[in-house]
Amino acid sequence: MKHFIVDESFQIQKSITTFLEDIHADNHYYRVYRYANFYEYLVNLVKALVNDKDVVLIDADFTQQELDNLGYADCVNLEEEILNVVYLTDQKEMVKKIQDSKSRITLFTSGTTGLPKVVHHTIPSLTRMIRVGSNYQENIWGLAYNPTHMAGVQVLLQSLLNLNTLVYIFGKTSNEVALNINLYNITHLSATPTFYRLLVASKDVFPLVEKITLGGEKSDPKLHLDIKLSFPNAKINNIYASTELGSLFVAKGDIFSVPDSIKKHVRVVDEELEIHTSIIPNMEKEEWYKTGDIVEIIDESPLRFKFKNRKTEMINVGGYKVNPNEIEEALRLFPELENARIYGKPNSVLGNIVCMEFVLNKGAKIEVVEIKKRLSEQFQDFKIPRIIKEVVAIEKTRTGKINRK
Amino acid sequence: MENKIKEIIVSILEDSGNYNESVEIEASSRLREDLGMDSFNLAELTVHIEEEFDVDIFEDGLVNTVGEIFAKLNKHK
């Protein structure tokens, strides 16, 4: 029988029939679900969607402090009853109910003000770039993104709505990923450049993979060549998406074209890409949203462009965005430190690596391990500085700002 | 040079709590599978080796074993 959901770490191999049984198992669900394991997460999400219930998707590595700050600490993983629970007669009805769902889906992005930012979505906003139809029915997806993040939700909806087999490979080592690709004949992968960089290092060849999508950070020509060697029969796409806007553009190579359906809602001002929020259902304000992405225009009409860099100071670590101000703010509360600076340094493994320089107060002492330990109590793993050095003084720019270059 | 590389690897693993003393670091050791380095550890490794030897060992794609690092550095001598 065809697998519907596979997660080897929990020995999960479920068919669509069992999945539907698990959706119907009881009439409770978690409105605010903190991620624990993939199958339970997916059953809860689909249960919420088919019953038009709102759902909040919380990452497993949110710290208690982050949950407190967001105001979700008291309602995490509390069971709520669904009155008049929907009974799905078959998988087609499940697909239809998901497509017509009125649920509000809440996700989080790393905010620029220090806290993860709350972003609300609906099924229309999440499925804008999703393709459903007979051409897609035989696809077998590897889920390589965090399932609580925008990119992960997109992959799982693409797979669910076509009733594809979905194999959970997020967070697995490259060896395990390679085993899963071969064992389950995965045909479609969507992941960050860092994921592929680690995977292609083994020089394994995966002839059955038909499509590779890259997103979340800038890729490079060398990586494209390596991907072609490891996936000789795959088409390679780049995708532009953000937690706020969902997926918007797909590029062949590194040039993005704006689809006709949204061309009136996309413009470039002073090299910065702006998107009009009217294309996002249920947005409170209608305005031009500044993406913070600096682009180079290749053609004016129809608009085609290339990404150059980010305008903001965010450090992109393997597809995860780190706000240096947030970490510096926390470091200011360390009594041993007179001053500290967080900056990104280009890195051939992760794209960028988070680095830290610090100046000690007179007579004070602190071990690097202790700095990491204390930051780990407050922040997710990817935000922790990896290269930490003591210096005599922090270099500042002429305006008195800490220099991040 | 080889001892310096091993020293760097041990200190990265120790700092991140991934160090297993019973595993000997040899030229044939695979960085991820045998030594348990994750992607953050590999990223740190490139930075420390570049500081010491001025070579980005992963510039042309990742390497898999300790011996391949030695080979990269020898090539740049």
- Summarize pLDDT for A156-192 with one digit per residue, the tens: 999 999 999 999 999 898 899 999 999 999 999 999 8
pLDDT at residue A92, as a whole number: 96
pLDDT of residue A64 exceeding 50: yes
Q: How far is the C-alpha of A194 from the C-alpha of A177, rounded, in Å? A: 14
Mean pLDDT of A221-240: 88
User: Which residue of A350, A368, A372 is in closest CB contact with B39?
Assistant: A350
CB-based burial label for B75 (10 Å; 0-12, 13-18, 19+): exposed
HSE, side-chain direction, 13 A CA sphere, residue B17: 5
pLDDT of residue A400 exceeding 80: no
B42 touches chain A (CB under 8 A): yes
Residues 284-323 of A with CB under 8 A from B: 318
Mean pLDDT of A345-373: 92
**Top-confidence residue, A182 or A266:** A182
pLDDT category, B26, cuts 50, 70, 90? Answer: very high
pLDDT of residue A266 exceeding 60: yes
The alpha-carbon radius of gyration of chain B (Å, integer) is: 11
pLDDT of residue A36 exceeding 70: yes
DSSP lists the bridge partners of residue A79 as A30
HSE, side-chain direction, 13 A CA sphere, residue A195: 24
pLDDT at residue A401, as a whole number: 52
Distance, CA of A3 to chain centre = 25
- With tokens 């991820």, the residue in question is B32
pLDDT of residue A70 exceeding 90: no
The verdict on a CB contact (< 8 Å) between B63 and A201 is yes
Residues 351-390 of A with CB under 8 A from B: 353, 355, 368-369, 372, 381-382, 386-387
Q: What is the mean pLDDT of chain A?
A: 87
Q: How far is CA A124 from CA A120, A247, B51, in A?
A: 12, 12, 49
pLDDT of residue A84 exceeding 70: yes
Closest approach of chain B CAs to the CA of A363, in angstroms? 24
What residues contact residue A394 under an 8 Å CB cut-off, 6+ apart? A339, A340, A341, A357, A359, A402
The model carries a pTM of 0.77
pLDDT of residue B27 exceeding 90: yes
pLDDT of residue A399 exceeding 70: no
Closest Cα partner for A151 from A180, A129, A174?
Answer: A129
Long-range contacts of A82-91 (CB under 8 A, 24+ apart): A82/A27, A82/A28, A82/A29, A82/A47, A82/A51, A82/A53, A83/A27, A85/A24, A85/A27, A85/A51, A86/A50, A86/A51, A87/A24, A88/A20, A88/A23, A88/A24, A88/A50, A90/A20, A91/A16, A91/A20, A91/A163
- Helix boundaries (H) for B1-77: 2-15, 39-53, 66-76
Q: How far is the C-alpha of A12 from the C-alpha of A6, rounded, in Å? A: 5
Question: A245: which DSSP letter?
Answer: T
pLDDT of residue A397 exceeding 60: no
Please tell me whether residue B59 adopts helix, strand or coil conformation. coil
pLDDT at residue B44, as a whole number: 93
Residues 125-164 of A with CB under 8 A from B: none
Residue type, A373: K
**Residue in chain B lying closest to A382 (CA):** B40
Is-contact A45 A31, C-beta < 8 A?
no
Q: How far is the C-alpha of A319 from the C-alpha of A270, rounded, in Å? A: 25
Interface test with A, best of B58, B62, B65 (most A CBs within 10 A): B62
The alpha-carbon radius of gyration of chain A (Å, integer) is: 22
pLDDT at residue A403, as a whole number: 59
This model of the complex carries an ipTM of 0.87
Q: How many CB atoms lie within 10 A of CB B54?
A: 9
Is-contact A24 A94, C-beta < 8 A?
no
- Among A178-187, A198-207, A283-292, name the one with the lowest average pLDDT: A283-292
A201 touches chain B (CB under 8 A): yes
Closest Cα partner for B51 from A228, A236, A347?
Answer: A347
User: Which residue of A175, A349, A368 is in closest CB contact with B43?
Assistant: A349
> Using one digit for the tens of pLDDT, what is the confidence trace for B28-69?
999 998 999 999 999 999 999 998 998 888 888 788 899 999
pLDDT at residue A111, as a whole number: 46
| Chain B hits for A201, Cβ within 8 Å | 61-64
Q: What are phi and psi of A102, to 5 degrees?
A: -100, 10
Highest mean pLDDT among A120-129, A181-190, A296-305, B24-33: A181-190
pLDDT of residue A94 exceeding 50: yes
Q: How far is the C-alpha of A280 from the C-alpha of A275, rounded, in Å? A: 10
A99 touches chain B (CB under 8 A): no
Is-contact A304 A384, C-beta < 8 A?
no
Biggest distance spanned by C-alpha atoms of chain B:
33
| Chain B hits for A372, Cβ within 8 Å | 15
Q: How many CB atoms lie within 10 A of CB A348?
A: 21
pLDDT at residue A296, as a whole number: 86
The verdict on a CB contact (< 8 Å) between B39 and A202 is no
